[in-house]
A and B are shown apart, each in its own frame.
Chain A
Amino acid sequence: MLNYLLRRLIQAVPVILIIMVGTFLLLKLAPGDTVDALVGDMGGADPQVIARLRAEYGLDQPVWVQLWIYMTKLVQFDFGWSFVHEQPVATVLMDRLGNTLLLMVSSLLFAVSIGCVLGAIAARKAYSLTDNVISTLGLIFYATPSFFLGLMMIVLFSVKLGWLPVGGIQTIPSFYKGWDHVKDVAVHLIMPTASLSLIYLALYMRLMRTSVLEVAELDYVRTARAKGAGEARLMVHHIGRNALLPVITLLGVQFSTILGGSVVIETVFTIPGLGQLAYQAVIQRDMNMLMGLVFLSSIVVIVVNFLIDLLYASLDSRIELS
């Protein structure tokens, strides 16, 4: 187990290094550097001061020295200073990370659980009306942009029916306490979760349907049926577990896409998370913030993929971790 963990960590190192170099290159490509932003923030400075600042930030060094400094800082999660927020980038990011992770986890859970159940139902009743309805809905969900779905839900559930709040993550910060607070956040998360997860729900549903159809034809399922296992037990115990494997694999592949999708959804529902931060960083040209976001979200993706691998291994006993 420990060996496996270690090997996975070592495999992630080159990818992280490439991403570090990549963000550095993007920063270099962007018009203006830290000192330009700083000077702009101060309202101008004379050339001597600018030259001294450049020296202080190491910007007069050769590029590879700058890259080295940049990477050593990134390793310590020092993403530089945000001139828009007047705070270190890392502080702002950590403030917002929780909301985004909450949205991610709720969307993924929703997409996987509902998607798998619907997919399994469609597969067990293959080619029936139920199957056709589920499959058609899946295709339409898959083609619907999440932000559009979000807006239409706002029209229906907030404007017309008045059931759900238009946006935000809570009514007023720390207005409710204890369970009321949890309930308040949950109500605010319903529409963002639904609109972010429907595309993935459709994907998992289709995959689960194909996968269940495939597994249901295997010999061991016939054996179980011959031994008198009921349909429900067959589905949950014998077919479900194996049919889930491709879904779990896709979950890892898709996670970075979902994280990207949250940019738009957080903007639509004004949720103060990483996604909204990314959008604001582009508008305000806060490059340090943007690159910090690229790096942090990549780390989140790597960690999640790692966890998914562990989950996969625990579901599929044929895989040994050692």
Chain B
Amino acid sequence: MSTVDIGISAAPVSGWAVLWRRYKRNRAAILGLILLALVLVMAATAGLIEPVDPLRRAGEPLIPPFTSWATPLGTDQLGRDILAGIFHGARTSLLIGIISTVFAISIGILVGSISGYFGGWVDDALMRITEAFQTIPNFVLLLALVAIMGSSLQNMIIAIGIVSWTAPARLVRAEFLSLRGREFVEAARNLGVSDKAIIFREILPNALPPVIVFASVIMAIAILLESALAFLGLGDPNYASWGNMIGMGRSVLRTDWYCAAIPGVAIIITVLAFSLIGEGLNEAVNPRQKKS
């Protein structure tokens, strides 16, 4: 929204500072940030743990955890260092999570804003398409897309984005429906501002906060979807992935269950981090909604 400078300014407390003050009151949300920092550090230092290739043979196969200095978390049945896999897996998970979330939200914003702004038959048509996407079980659609496009990292990101855009689209649409009748929009329309400018420069900035909060939920789901694909052996075989490590660990589950357990804990920590942050942000943005 463009503002007119009227020479009066509020107390110099930025919106971000207020948001942070509310956010940090929630201990669980702080824990989420700490867990996320942990995952980020793992992703950043993955090159130090294993600079060459996390998928190379690092020692004897199936060394149990905490028994060797060279491979502190042990090795899998192919002799690959589990610690290196965890650190490089953090990179893959975050990469896929972030890019596919951005992709999903971009589609969601486009569909939701057009639908909510124009209404009428455009809205009807776009909402039927959204419903169709919501009706098809997302993992089944994901499998179909991966079967057709192949499972390179890039295609997986696209496929995860395609199955995740409906929720943000509905969210954006709802915001647009409630904002499009406001005075500032009427004013812009009377000034002859184009539809495109009203959508993207007037309404969208006001509709974004709930979408950004929701992004952490989409991120958590995207990471879970990737891990499930990789678990089934349908991920990109050239990248270390927690899901794939669990899938490999399945064949030695009876004797060496740590091969599957360690990457599983990594997934839990990452997804937990994003859900806690999402919840904290939600409470910080909508303090009145807080009932619990």
Report which A residues bind B (CB closer than 8 A).
Answer: 14-15, 18-19, 22, 26, 29-31, 126, 139-140, 142-145, 147-148, 151-152, 154-155, 159, 209-210, 213-214, 253, 256-257, 259-261, 263-264, 267-268, 278-279, 281-282, 285, 287, 290-291, 293-294, 297-298, 301-302
Rounded to whole Å, the gap between the CB of A236 and the closest CB of chain B is 22
How many residues of B are in contact with the other chain, CB < 8 A?
Answer: 46
Contacts of B224 in A (CB 8 A): 145
Known: A210-B291, A297-B136. A18 touches B129 (CB 8 A): yes
Rounded to whole Å, the gap between the CB of B85 and the closest CB of chain A is 15
B232 and A256 contacting across the interface, CB-CB below 8 Å: no
B275 is an interface residue with CB less than 8 A from chain A:
yes
B291 and A214 contacting across the interface, CB-CB below 8 Å: yes
Known: A18-B128, A213-B292. A264 touches B228 (CB 8 A): yes
From B138, B234, B275, contact of A143 by CB (8 A): B275
From A30, A147, A260, A278, contact of B148 by CB (8 A): A30
From A148, A154, A210, contact of B264 by CB (8 A): A148
**Residue in chain B with minimal CB distance to A127:** B292
Known: A260-B139, A264-B139, A264-B228. A287 touches B147 (CB 8 A): yes
Rounded to whole Å, the gap between the CB of A208 and the closest CB of chain B is 12
Known: A142-B275, A290-B143, A291-B144. A260 touches B253 (CB 8 A): no
Which A-B residue pairs are the 5 nearest by beta carbons?
Answer: A260-B139, A260-B137, A143-B271, A148-B264, A18-B132
Contacts of A145 in B (CB 8 A): 224, 227-228, 231, 243, 246, 264, 267-268, 271
Q: Please report the C-alpha to C-alpha distance between residue A142 and residue B232 in the assembled complex, in whole angstroms.
A: 21
Contacts of A285 in B (CB 8 A): 147
Contacts of A260 in B (CB 8 A): 137-142
B291 and A298 contacting across the interface, CB-CB below 8 Å: no
Q: A30-B147, A256-B134 are in contact. List 6 more A-B contacts (CB 8 A).
A: A18-B129, A145-B246, A257-B137, A257-B138, A260-B139, A282-B143
B135 and A144 contacting across the interface, CB-CB below 8 Å: no
Q: Please report the C-alpha to C-alpha distance between residue A148 and residue B261 in the assembled complex, in whole angstroms.
A: 8
Known: A159-B253, A264-B228, A278-B143. A139 touches B276 (CB 8 A): yes
Contacts of B291 in A (CB 8 A): 210, 213-214
Mark B141-156 against chain A: 1 for CB-CB distance below 8 A, else 0. Answer: 1111111100000000
Rounded to whole Å, the gap between the CB of A179 and the closest CB of chain B is 32
B160 is an interface residue with CB less than 8 A from chain A:
no
Contacts of B275 in A (CB 8 A): 139, 142-143
